[in-house]
Structure 1
């Protein structure tokens, strides 16, 4: 956890954003304006809400309890900082789980916090706003790629507009559960994933057909891991808080994703820069990214540390 300066009695304009994803729950508390917010507190907890049941449409009891306990702790922090506004956003796992409504009701009862389960379309919009506020977009067209545990959001656009956006239930945890049964992942499973993606993503390829795409912008998550591993292996220090964006050297990106796809669980687990929650899911994330790069013929890849929570924060601070 990252502890920042506690607020004084003048708490005007403090907002809290919870991004309740399939793998991780984030809490971001900030104040100020949407263009240049001042972060007061930020923590990420690897809740693994989709563990053991993501493709069965149910949150398993242990994961369910981890989620409840984490939000109760978040609520304590929010009260300490006396936030005036709380946005709690739930995405793929809670959106698709049969017991998602029970989870939301229990949180309301225990904390008073109302969780908003957003559509994949709205999730994509918030991701775009987050990446835009991170100063990653230009006049040229980019494909923003946000690989979550449950879903993957694709947003075609530039600094002025969204051209097309869609969410697909092909997140790294889903792919891991469906295809990555043996480690290292066998070639047959890689082929199965590529075939599955080809069958799932025709709408993306149709949308991208007449759009000149300059680069792919990976929104936080796995892309932070790719960047951190590359820099640490070169002997450089890498602080995500100091690197709002990062441009990959194409060959370095190819090399690291090739290595991750071929690696064993033990290889990845002992590699600096790969946090425990991503040790296995980083393989699926690598395969999804490389498939899209090849299919669209795009070799330039950037990373933005700003994503959904920053998009929600920008909206909250604009109120």
Structure 2
């Protein structure tokens, strides 16, 4: 028996889990923590990580350490799109290591997509689908056929970056939603393999998509909104939820049942990658996964330790 701590620094939030790894190859989750660090905030076109989000992130990492230190675990710390793209990446990582001792691995877009695939396939029985992981500053799309990854890509837009670029945080001009959709579709059109995956369900990962699951389950009167692994919705239901919230003010969105207040400014932008993907491939439904990069890392660690 041993322990594994995974620290996952995304563009919008930082997450940490502690897993007890058993000798038979199984594992038990002991701790799960999340902090809304939003390291991608105000990066802008210059792609510079700013001081306030950096300080907020380091404080969260120090808090995580107080939670996992007693287990003396193996630590795997990974970070994704915002840090991957930042021109001051090296300075940020050096400061984090100096202040916390944590050494982060910066995942490439391909590595992030690979771990998403591993995480989904380890917990869902899926043969043919398109996986979509919507993060704060990137989206990963993986085409799956007969249970195998046949194509993947990481695109440089996400819930936070779209919200800031197209002014989708507060009270929204509908023309800005169209501009954002045009931008997303232009990037999807560069992926000829994507259009060959017609009528496949979309497997959803990422914070915005988790919010969609919670809103959908709340609307159905399901009490357990935080346990949605395998939960499914038709594209018509997804579209209906989006059509309801796209015309709301930010204050109104902050009071949507099932939506975290801290996501009211990025929920519109966070759902646009999904909406445009659904229509591009004529997806019949979406299926939500609670397993992604972190579970992919766990699966890899267990395999390597075995």
Using structure 1 for the length normalisation, give the TM-score: 0.89
The answer for the alignment partner of 2:218 in structure 1 is 232
Q: Any idea what SS the aligned residue of 2:200 has? A: strand
Matches within 5 A, 1:91-106: 91-106=80-95
In structure 1, C-alpha distance between the alignment counterparts of 2:142 and 2:199, rounded to whole Å: 11
Q: CA RMSD in A?
A: 1.9
The answer for the alignment partner of 2:97 in structure 1 is 108
Q: Any idea what SS the aligned residue of 1:134 has? A: coil
**Does residue 156 in structure 1 map to residue 146 in structure 2?**
no
User: How far off is 1:54 after superposition?
Assistant: 4.4
In structure 1, C-alpha distance between the alignment counterparts of 2:200 and 2:171, rounded to whole Å: 33
Contact 1:143 1:213 in 2 (8 A): no
Contact 2:11 2:136 in 1 (8 A): yes
**Unaligned stretches of 5+ in structure 1?**
1-11
Q: For CA contacts below 8 A with separation 6 or more, give which structure has more relative contact order.
A: 1
In structure 1, C-alpha distance between the alignment counterparts of 2:143 and 2:103, rounded to whole Å: 31
Distance 1:214 1:187, change over 3 A: same
**Does residue 258 in structure 1 map to residue 251 in structure 2?**
no
The answer for the alignment partner of 1:86 in structure 2 is 75
Distance 1:182 1:308, change over 3 A: closer
User: How far off is 1:182 after superposition?
Assistant: 7.0
The answer for the alignment partner of 1:243 in structure 2 is 228
Contact 1:245 1:302 in 2 (8 A): yes
**Unaligned stretches of 5+ in structure 2?**
none
Contact 2:208 2:270 in 1 (8 A): yes
In structure 2, C-alpha distance between the alignment counterparts of 1:126 and 1:208, rounded to whole Å: 19
Distance 1:299 1:35, change over 3 A: farther
The answer for the alignment partner of 1:62 in structure 2 is 52
The answer for the alignment partner of 2:40 in structure 1 is 50
**Does residue 299 in structure 1 map to residue 288 in structure 2?**
no
Paired residues, number: 303
In structure 2, C-alpha distance between the alignment counterparts of 1:213 and 1:299, rounded to whole Å: 6
Distance 1:306 1:159, change over 3 A: farther
Distance 1:316 1:276, change over 3 A: farther
**Does residue 219 in structure 1 map to residue 222 in structure 2?**
no
The answer for the alignment partner of 1:9 in structure 2 is none
In structure 2, C-alpha distance between the alignment counterparts of 1:24 and 1:46, rounded to whole Å: 4
**Does residue 193 in structure 1 map to residue 180 in structure 2?**
yes
**Deviations 1:78-137 (Å, cap 9, x if unpaired)?**
212221x111001011111122212211222233321001101100001111111221x4
Distance 1:252 1:312, change over 3 A: same
User: How far off is 1:272 after superposition?
Assistant: 2.5
Contact 2:13 2:38 in 1 (8 A): yes
Using structure 2 for the length normalisation, give the TM-score: 0.92
